Amino acid sequence: MLALREVRSWGTAAGDSTQEFHGIAGARYLKEASVVLIADQGSHSVRVFSDDGHYLRSVGRPGRGPGDIAFMTGLMTSDSTMAVVQGNQVSRWTLEGRFLTVWEPSVPGRQLSLLGPLGSGTWVAATGPQATFVPGLEAQVARLYRIPTTGGPATSIAEVYWRTVLNVVSGRGVTGYAAPYAAEGMVATGDGAFWYANGSDPTVRRIGPDGATLIEVKLPYQPSRVSAEDRRAYVDRLFPVPHPDEARIRRELGPAAFPAFHSAIVQLVAAPHGSVWVGLGASADEPGRLWCLVSQNGRVLGKVRLPPEDRLLDAADGYVLVSHEDKEGVERVALMAFRGGAP
């Protein structure tokens, strides 16, 4: 089992506005540039820090025009630029904060969700909802597309099965939410391929740019049942303050709305050299969440266990970025190094 040590962290309750976060949408560690990027929903900006902890600048501002950020669904980097994903739109800046362009690909008659860069000036996108998979709920088919950033035609590359998202409260004063124990099931690695998982099965698949499955890796996982306590805790988190529809929503979120077992895979995070970190679901007999690093040829290079409330945001050679929200609601991002070097 690999071990981590904290190198640096960002996040405070009050007193330093550059270190206050209200909804971390993503973070990236650019080791060669010695900077950490943290996307903050509350300020509609990406904060740029040196990796020794100093605040450098904020990029973006509230609004819906060029150079503005209305909301963020992801933060990525490509070709020495930062890319803020806003649904079906990508806004790009230099690392120094100069706004470059807004890119909004389209496929006739299709609503797209951008998943990430494939490399060589192309991204992968999918029809249907963002990559969310829920075992036990109705599935639908989505089509993947390779989208050139130059504005050329999109190319269909594969079909995958998506799971529908439970959203019983949309439009009633509470924002829509993903179904219980949903898995983030797809991630591009920037080398022309991507990894895919469907949540219910502890298998990850590496998919090539033509849609062909290159490799399948089944990871060891002991299924854990979703208990009544798990269900109560999930629903309670939806209502930190009273809501007029709370009673109805609690009725609709009965046992039938939940899968019998926790998802086998809950998150994928792209890692260097075409590899991927795979976050396994809750285990019946082990504390925390087990993460496995899988190489592009299917070898498990190492494993690390993180607290279940920690979220892995990014991975670089020998390092990972992890976010955490404490009991007081303070959001933090920590740069962690592997003891003994990269796995």
pLDDT in the model for residue 144 = 75
Of residues 144 and 30, the one with the higher pLDDT is 30
Q: What is the pLDDT of residues 104-120, one digit of tens each?
A: 777 766 666 777 777 77
Distance CA 189, CA 122 (A): 12
Check whether 32 has a pLDDT greater than 80. yes
Give the pLDDT band of residue 3 (cuts 50, 70, 90).
very high
- Look at the block and give the residue holding tokens 């390779």: 146
In contact, 74 and 26? CB cutoff 8 Å: yes
- Give the residue-averaged pLDDT of 180-188: 56
CB 185 within 8 A of CB 135: no
**Residue 248, H or E segment:** helix 246-252
Least confident of 149-163, 250-264, 301-315: 149-163
Note the pLDDT of residue 73: 78
265-270 and 276-280 beta bridge pairing = antiparallel
Sheet arrangement for strand 4-10: 4-10, 331-338, 319-325, 311-316
The whole-angstrom distance between residue 60's C-alpha and the CA centroid of its chain comes to: 21
Most confident of 109-113, 186-190, 274-278: 274-278
Over residues 14-42, the mean pLDDT reads 90
Domain ranges in the chain?
A: 1-104, 105-308
Residue 235: other Cβ atoms inside 10 A:
18
Residue 135 has pLDDT above 50, yes or no: no
- pLDDT score recorded for residue 320: 94
Task: Examine the pLDDT at 215 and tell me if it is beyond 60.
Answer: yes
Mean pLDDT of the chain: 79
Across 34-43, 52-61, 177-186, 246-255, least confident range: 177-186
Least confidently predicted of 45-49, 112-116, 247-251, 319-323: 112-116
* CA–CA dist 151, 273 (Å, integer): 27
Find the angle CA(147)-CA(151)-CA(155) to the nearest 5 degrees: 30
CA distance 187 to 277: 10
Confidence band for 178, pLDDT divided at 50, 70 and 90: very low
pLDDT for the residue 239: 78
pLDDT > 90? residue 4: yes
For residue 258, name the pLDDT band (cuts at 50, 70, 90): confident
The pLDDT value recorded for residue 174 is 28
Please state, in angstroms and rounded to a whole number, the distance separating the CA atoms of residues 17 and 1: 37
Q: Is residue 311 over pLDDT 70?
A: yes
Q: Under CATH, which number does the domain 1-104 receive?
A: 2.120.10.30
